[in-house]
Amino acid sequence: MAAALAVLTWDPQLRGSLIVLLAVVILCGSVYLLLATNLGAKVGLLLAVAGLSGWLVLLNIIWLIGPLGTGPIGYKGVAAQWVPKEIVTGDLLAHSGVKAVTGTPGKPSTQFPNGWKYLPVGTSLEESAAPAADAALIPPAAGTPATSSFAPPFTTTQDYVDVAAYGKGGHNYLFNFFGYKVYWRIRGHYYYIKHQPTYVVIRVSPSLASVTLAGAAATLPAADVTKPMTSVVLERNVGSLRLPPVLIGTAAFIVFALTIEKLHSRDKEIARRKAGEGSGGAGPPGGARPEPAGELQPA
């Protein structure tokens, strides 16, 4: 017994699971016990499940919407992030393995940098992808997990200079009809079924060794044009922030609909039986029975 208590005290995950399980048993079980003692075990269970599932539906709708401008609240999925697909030093087109970069063989118009949009420094897309590129270009800090499976080519962010950035994709459309992209927009908002991939290429160049004279202001690092550039290809992972509320809410709605339908069917059956009893199934109203006909008597 002491060993079991020691395990519960030591393992926070096991202790947390038991706390949640005990809370569910006490709260939901007490409600079911109250309903079962007044309405019966079966009807009490249906009402308890209907109430719990209906409350979960409303709760997940609130989780899904969240406060205006802040996104979902409550139980969330994976946040959107930039994922490094490759790091190439030298000729990006010749050594890349990403289809968005290499394009279609024999069609230069589909190959990098054709079809890519130049992203000036300070644009929202470039600023959102730059931290992920920096994390892939240098080793992670001590005790921090690596965000990329590629070997970082630099040691610190002072060893390179951002040269250019390019973006491609992200044009979400409703569906593709034999090569024709169909768009649906209402008041400037596009509606689509699936996100189209968004790619960003950030190109950096090794920096020259900076020399600061005594008393002079520090100079910004300059790119060493004699060395090959390094390109980081990143893909936008849109994440799944709203997926858990959608799945939980949908499952709770199905359970709620089934229990409500069962309760409704039970009420209709009770009403049908009461109507049958009152319409003559147990004899005429009032309990009066006709007297048997006797012989005709002369007037």
Residue ranges of the domains in the chain? 2-74+244-275, 81-209+221-238
Average pLDDT, the chain: 83
Asked if 87 and 150 touch (Cβ cutoff 8 Å), the reply is: yes
Region 217-233: mean pLDDT is 83
How buried is residue 205: exposed, middle or buried, by Cβ count under 10 Å (0-12/13-18/19+)? Answer: buried
Confidence of residue 172 (pLDDT cuts 50, 70, 90): confident
Q: Residue 72: is its pLDDT beyond 70? A: no
Which residues neighbour 151 within 8 Å (Cβ) at sequence distance 6 or greater? 87
Q: Rounded CA gap, 236 and 258, in Å?
A: 40
Q: Any idea which of 70-74, 92-96, 155-159 has the lowest mean pLDDT?
A: 70-74
Q: Rounded CA gap, 77 and 60, in Å?
A: 13
Q: Rounded CA gap, 299 and 296, in Å?
A: 9
Q: Residue 204: is its pLDDT beyond 70? A: yes
Which residues neighbour 170 within 8 Å (Cβ) at sequence distance 6 or greater? 196, 197, 198, 236
Q: What is the DSSP string of 238-255?
A: ---TTHHHHHHHHHHHHH
Per DSSP, 129 falls in state H
Provide the token pair at 100: 């968005």
Q: What is the pLDDT of residue 112?
A: 93
73 residue type, one letter:
I
Helix (H) or strand (E) holding 206: strand 198-206
pTM: 0.70
How buried is residue 136: exposed, middle or buried, by Cβ count under 10 Å (0-12/13-18/19+)? Answer: buried
Q: Rounded CA gap, 119 and 166, in Å?
A: 5
Confidence of residue 69 (pLDDT cuts 50, 70, 90): very low
| Residue with more model confidence, 45 or 19 | 45
Q: Any idea which of 44-53, 56-65, 253-262, 273-282 has the lowest mean pLDDT?
A: 273-282
164 residue type, one letter:
A
The single residue listed with the structure tokens 């060395």 is 227
Phi-psi region of 165 (alpha: psi -120 to 50; beta: other; left: phi over 0): beta
Find the largest Cα–Cα distance for the chain.
147
The single residue listed with the structure tokens 């006797």 is 294
